[in-house]
Amino acid sequence: MRILIAEDDSILADGLSRSLRRNGYAVDSLHDGLATDSALAAQAFDLLILDLGLPHLPGLEVLRRLRARNSHLPVLILTAADSVEQRVKGLDLGADDYMAKPFSLSELEARVRALTRRGAGGGATVLRHGRLVFDQTGRVAQVDGHTLDLSAREVSLLEILLTRAGRMVSKNQIVDHLCEWGEEVSSNAIEVYIHRLRKKLEPSDVKIATVRGLGYCLERDAAIDRNNGGDLRGTDQPATAH
Protein backbone atom coordinates (compact mmCIF):
# COMPACT_ATOMS: atom_id res chain seq x y z
CA MET A 1 0.00 0.00 0.00
CA ARG A 2 1.30 3.42 -0.99
CA ILE A 3 0.54 6.59 0.99
CA LEU A 4 1.08 10.24 0.07
CA ILE A 5 1.55 12.66 2.97
CA ALA A 6 0.89 16.32 2.13
CA GLU A 7 2.12 18.23 5.18
CA ASP A 8 4.07 21.51 5.33
CA ASP A 9 5.59 20.70 8.74
CA SER A 10 8.64 18.69 7.66
CA ILE A 11 9.30 17.35 11.18
CA LEU A 12 5.76 16.00 11.47
CA ALA A 13 5.87 14.62 7.91
CA ASP A 14 9.16 12.82 8.61
CA GLY A 15 7.82 11.34 11.83
CA LEU A 16 4.66 10.10 10.14
CA SER A 17 6.67 8.67 7.25
CA ARG A 18 8.99 6.71 9.55
CA SER A 19 6.08 5.33 11.57
CA LEU A 20 4.06 4.24 8.53
CA ARG A 21 7.10 2.67 6.85
CA ARG A 22 7.65 0.58 9.99
CA ASN A 23 4.11 -0.68 9.46
CA GLY A 24 4.95 -1.82 5.94
CA TYR A 25 3.62 1.06 3.85
CA ALA A 26 5.43 2.79 1.00
CA VAL A 27 5.33 6.50 1.86
CA ASP A 28 5.98 9.66 -0.16
CA SER A 29 5.67 13.19 1.20
CA LEU A 30 5.21 16.67 -0.22
CA HIS A 31 5.14 20.05 1.48
CA ASP A 32 2.99 22.26 -0.75
CA GLY A 33 -0.40 22.08 -2.36
CA LEU A 34 0.53 22.58 -6.00
CA ALA A 35 3.04 19.73 -5.96
CA THR A 36 0.49 17.54 -4.20
CA ASP A 37 -2.17 18.29 -6.80
CA SER A 38 0.25 17.46 -9.63
CA ALA A 39 1.32 14.20 -8.00
CA LEU A 40 -2.28 13.09 -7.43
CA ALA A 41 -3.14 13.81 -11.05
CA ALA A 42 -0.21 11.80 -12.38
CA GLN A 43 0.29 8.84 -10.03
CA ALA A 44 -1.59 6.16 -8.12
CA PHE A 45 -1.79 6.08 -4.31
CA ASP A 46 -3.83 4.09 -1.81
CA LEU A 47 -4.33 6.91 0.70
CA LEU A 48 -3.78 10.67 0.98
CA ILE A 49 -2.99 12.22 4.36
CA LEU A 50 -3.77 15.89 3.74
CA ASP A 51 -2.92 18.93 5.83
CA LEU A 52 -5.33 21.81 5.23
CA GLY A 53 -2.72 24.52 5.78
CA LEU A 54 -0.56 23.85 2.73
CA PRO A 55 1.29 26.70 1.00
CA HIS A 56 0.64 27.67 -2.66
CA LEU A 57 -2.63 25.72 -2.79
CA PRO A 58 -4.82 25.14 0.29
CA GLY A 59 -5.60 21.59 1.29
CA LEU A 60 -9.32 22.05 0.69
CA GLU A 61 -8.62 23.09 -2.91
CA VAL A 62 -6.36 20.05 -3.37
CA LEU A 63 -9.26 17.92 -2.17
CA ARG A 64 -11.79 19.70 -4.40
CA ARG A 65 -9.61 19.14 -7.48
CA LEU A 66 -9.04 15.50 -6.56
CA ARG A 67 -12.77 14.78 -6.36
CA ALA A 68 -13.42 16.81 -9.53
CA ARG A 69 -11.23 14.24 -11.33
CA ASN A 70 -13.66 11.57 -10.05
CA SER A 71 -10.97 10.03 -7.87
CA HIS A 72 -12.19 7.80 -5.04
CA LEU A 73 -8.82 7.86 -3.26
CA PRO A 74 -9.38 7.73 0.54
CA VAL A 75 -8.42 11.04 2.18
CA LEU A 76 -7.54 11.62 5.83
CA ILE A 77 -7.45 15.32 6.70
CA LEU A 78 -5.04 16.70 9.29
CA THR A 79 -5.90 20.13 10.60
CA ALA A 80 -4.70 22.43 13.33
CA ALA A 81 -7.99 24.29 13.07
CA ASP A 82 -10.32 23.32 15.90
CA SER A 83 -13.20 24.64 13.83
CA VAL A 84 -16.37 22.69 13.16
CA GLU A 85 -16.80 24.74 9.97
CA GLN A 86 -13.43 23.59 8.60
CA ARG A 87 -14.19 19.98 9.39
CA VAL A 88 -17.61 20.20 7.75
CA LYS A 89 -16.11 21.78 4.61
CA GLY A 90 -13.56 18.99 4.33
CA LEU A 91 -16.12 16.24 4.75
CA ASP A 92 -18.53 17.92 2.33
CA LEU A 93 -15.76 18.13 -0.28
CA GLY A 94 -15.23 14.38 -0.05
CA ALA A 95 -12.77 13.69 2.79
CA ASP A 96 -13.23 10.27 4.40
CA ASP A 97 -11.94 11.13 7.86
CA TYR A 98 -10.14 13.87 9.76
CA MET A 99 -7.88 14.31 12.76
CA ALA A 100 -7.17 17.52 14.66
CA LYS A 101 -3.58 18.29 15.69
CA PRO A 102 -2.11 17.29 18.05
CA PHE A 103 -3.13 13.65 17.69
CA SER A 104 -2.18 10.22 18.94
CA LEU A 105 0.13 8.37 16.54
CA SER A 106 -1.48 5.03 17.40
CA GLU A 107 -4.93 6.43 16.58
CA LEU A 108 -3.69 7.79 13.25
CA GLU A 109 -2.20 4.39 12.39
CA ALA A 110 -5.53 2.73 13.20
CA ARG A 111 -7.41 5.19 10.97
CA VAL A 112 -4.90 4.62 8.18
CA ARG A 113 -5.51 0.87 8.41
CA ALA A 114 -9.27 1.40 8.29
CA LEU A 115 -9.12 3.75 5.30
CA THR A 116 -6.74 1.58 3.26
CA ARG A 117 -8.96 -1.44 3.89
CA ARG A 118 -11.99 0.56 2.79
CA GLY A 119 -10.16 1.78 -0.29
CA ALA A 120 -9.28 -1.81 -1.19
CA GLY A 121 -12.95 -2.71 -1.13
CA GLY A 122 -13.45 -4.14 2.35
CA GLY A 123 -13.97 -2.94 5.88
CA ALA A 124 -12.76 -6.05 7.69
CA THR A 125 -9.27 -6.71 8.99
CA VAL A 126 -8.85 -10.28 7.74
CA LEU A 127 -8.68 -11.46 4.12
CA ARG A 128 -9.19 -15.14 3.26
CA HIS A 129 -8.42 -16.87 0.00
CA GLY A 130 -8.63 -20.64 0.19
CA ARG A 131 -6.53 -21.79 3.14
CA LEU A 132 -4.58 -18.55 3.15
CA VAL A 133 -5.52 -16.03 5.84
CA PHE A 134 -4.04 -12.52 5.97
CA ASP A 135 -4.47 -10.22 8.98
CA GLN A 136 -4.18 -6.64 7.69
CA THR A 137 -3.82 -5.21 11.18
CA GLY A 138 -0.99 -7.44 12.35
CA ARG A 139 0.25 -7.88 8.75
CA VAL A 140 0.60 -11.61 9.28
CA ALA A 141 -0.19 -14.36 6.75
CA GLN A 142 -1.10 -17.88 7.84
CA VAL A 143 -1.91 -21.20 6.20
CA ASP A 144 -3.89 -23.63 8.37
CA GLY A 145 -2.86 -21.64 11.43
CA HIS A 146 0.85 -21.70 10.60
CA THR A 147 2.47 -18.28 10.13
CA LEU A 148 4.37 -17.73 6.89
CA ASP A 149 7.85 -16.26 7.22
CA LEU A 150 7.52 -13.24 4.93
CA SER A 151 9.71 -10.17 4.55
CA ALA A 152 8.09 -6.73 4.77
CA ARG A 153 8.19 -6.41 1.00
CA GLU A 154 6.66 -9.86 0.52
CA VAL A 155 3.85 -8.95 2.93
CA SER A 156 3.11 -5.79 0.95
CA LEU A 157 3.19 -7.71 -2.33
CA LEU A 158 0.83 -10.36 -0.95
CA GLU A 159 -1.58 -7.66 0.22
CA ILE A 160 -1.61 -6.08 -3.25
CA LEU A 161 -2.39 -9.44 -4.87
CA LEU A 162 -4.95 -10.46 -2.24
CA THR A 163 -6.98 -7.27 -2.51
CA ARG A 164 -7.16 -7.94 -6.26
CA ALA A 165 -7.48 -11.73 -6.08
CA GLY A 166 -8.83 -13.25 -9.28
CA ARG A 167 -7.83 -10.17 -11.29
CA MET A 168 -4.73 -9.45 -13.31
CA VAL A 169 -2.15 -7.17 -11.67
CA SER A 170 0.51 -5.73 -13.96
CA LYS A 171 4.13 -5.12 -12.98
CA ASN A 172 3.51 -1.38 -13.33
CA GLN A 173 0.62 -1.60 -10.87
CA ILE A 174 2.81 -3.49 -8.42
CA VAL A 175 5.54 -0.85 -8.68
CA ASP A 176 2.98 1.96 -8.28
CA HIS A 177 1.64 0.52 -5.02
CA LEU A 178 4.85 -1.00 -3.65
CA CYS A 179 7.54 1.61 -4.23
CA GLU A 180 8.29 5.15 -3.16
CA TRP A 181 9.70 7.97 -5.26
CA GLY A 182 13.38 7.56 -6.00
CA GLU A 183 13.23 3.83 -5.35
CA GLU A 184 14.57 2.04 -8.40
CA VAL A 185 12.83 -1.30 -8.80
CA SER A 186 13.45 -3.17 -12.02
CA SER A 187 11.16 -5.61 -13.78
CA ASN A 188 13.60 -8.36 -12.80
CA ALA A 189 13.32 -7.37 -9.13
CA ILE A 190 9.53 -7.73 -9.25
CA GLU A 191 10.00 -11.20 -10.75
CA VAL A 192 12.34 -12.11 -7.87
CA TYR A 193 9.79 -10.93 -5.27
CA ILE A 194 7.06 -12.91 -7.02
CA HIS A 195 9.25 -16.03 -7.16
CA ARG A 196 10.07 -15.84 -3.44
CA LEU A 197 6.45 -15.27 -2.46
CA ARG A 198 5.24 -18.05 -4.77
CA LYS A 199 7.61 -20.53 -3.04
CA LYS A 200 6.35 -19.52 0.39
CA LEU A 201 2.72 -19.97 -0.68
CA GLU A 202 3.35 -23.56 -1.80
CA PRO A 203 1.85 -25.10 1.41
CA SER A 204 -1.47 -23.41 0.61
CA ASP A 205 -4.06 -23.98 -2.11
CA VAL A 206 -3.23 -20.52 -3.49
CA LYS A 207 -0.85 -19.82 -6.34
CA ILE A 208 0.44 -16.81 -8.24
CA ALA A 209 -0.23 -17.34 -11.92
CA THR A 210 1.92 -15.52 -14.50
CA VAL A 211 0.44 -14.31 -17.75
CA ARG A 212 3.37 -13.33 -19.94
CA GLY A 213 3.30 -9.74 -21.05
CA LEU A 214 0.37 -8.91 -18.78
CA GLY A 215 1.22 -9.58 -15.14
CA TYR A 216 0.17 -11.80 -12.26
CA CYS A 217 -3.01 -13.18 -10.76
CA LEU A 218 -3.59 -14.73 -7.33
CA GLU A 219 -5.85 -17.74 -7.72
CA ARG A 220 -6.77 -21.07 -6.20
CA ASP A 221 -4.73 -24.09 -7.26
CA ALA A 222 -7.13 -26.24 -9.28
CA ALA A 223 -4.99 -29.38 -8.90
CA ILE A 224 -5.05 -29.14 -5.12
CA ASP A 225 -8.79 -28.48 -5.13
CA ARG A 226 -9.39 -31.55 -7.30
CA ASN A 227 -7.28 -33.71 -5.01
CA ASN A 228 -9.28 -32.46 -2.05
CA GLY A 229 -12.57 -33.06 -3.84
CA GLY A 230 -13.29 -29.35 -3.69
CA ASP A 231 -15.76 -27.37 -5.75
CA LEU A 232 -13.87 -25.31 -8.31
CA ARG A 233 -16.67 -22.87 -8.88
CA GLY A 234 -15.65 -19.36 -7.94
CA THR A 235 -11.91 -20.01 -7.99
CA ASP A 236 -11.42 -16.63 -9.64
CA GLN A 237 -13.49 -14.77 -7.08
CA PRO A 238 -11.80 -12.02 -5.02
CA ALA A 239 -10.49 -12.74 -1.56
CA THR A 240 -13.24 -12.50 1.02
CA ALA A 241 -13.07 -10.23 4.04
CA HIS A 242 -14.30 -11.32 7.47
Q: What pLDDT shows up at residue 227?
A: 47
Query: What top-level class would CATH report for the domain 2-119?
Result: alpha beta
Q: What pLDDT shows up at residue 234?
A: 35
In the beta sheet, which residues pair with residue 241? Answer: 127
In 3D space, the residue among 233, 115, 119, 215 whose CA is nearest the CA of residue 167 turns out to be: 215
CA dihedral sign, ordered 119, 193, 170, 126: negative
CATH number of 126-241: 1.10.10.10
Query: pTM for the complete prediction?
Result: 0.68
Q: What is the pLDDT of residues 59-107, one digit of tens each?
A: 999 999 999 999 999 999 998 766 778 888 888 999 999 998 888 999 9
Q: Across residues 124-139, what is the average pLDDT?
A: 84
Q: What pLDDT shows up at residue 120?
A: 58
- Ordered by start, the domain boundaries in the chain are 2-119, 126-241
Q: Which distant-in-sequence residues (6+ apart) come within 8 Å of 147 by Cβ?
A: 140, 141
Task: Let me know if the fold of 2-119 is the same as that of 126-241.
Answer: no
CB 3 within 8 A of CB 22: no
Q: Across residues 181-187, what is the average pLDDT?
A: 77
Q: Across residues 211-220, what is the average pLDDT?
A: 88
Q: Which distant-in-sequence residues (6+ apart) come within 8 Å of 178 by Cβ?
A: 2, 26, 153, 156, 157, 160, 185
In 3D space, the residue among 170, 156, 172, 179 whose CA is nearest the CA of residue 217 turns out to be: 170
In 3D space, the residue among 120, 146, 126, 137 whose CA is nearest the CA of residue 200 turns out to be: 146
Least confident of 5-14, 149-158, 184-193: 184-193
Q: What is the enclosing helix (H) or strand (E) of 119?
A: helix 105-119
In 3D space, the residue among 136, 151, 148 whose CA is nearest the CA of residue 204 turns out to be: 148
Average pLDDT over the chain reads: 85
Tell whether the model's pLDDT for residue 166 goes beyond 50: yes
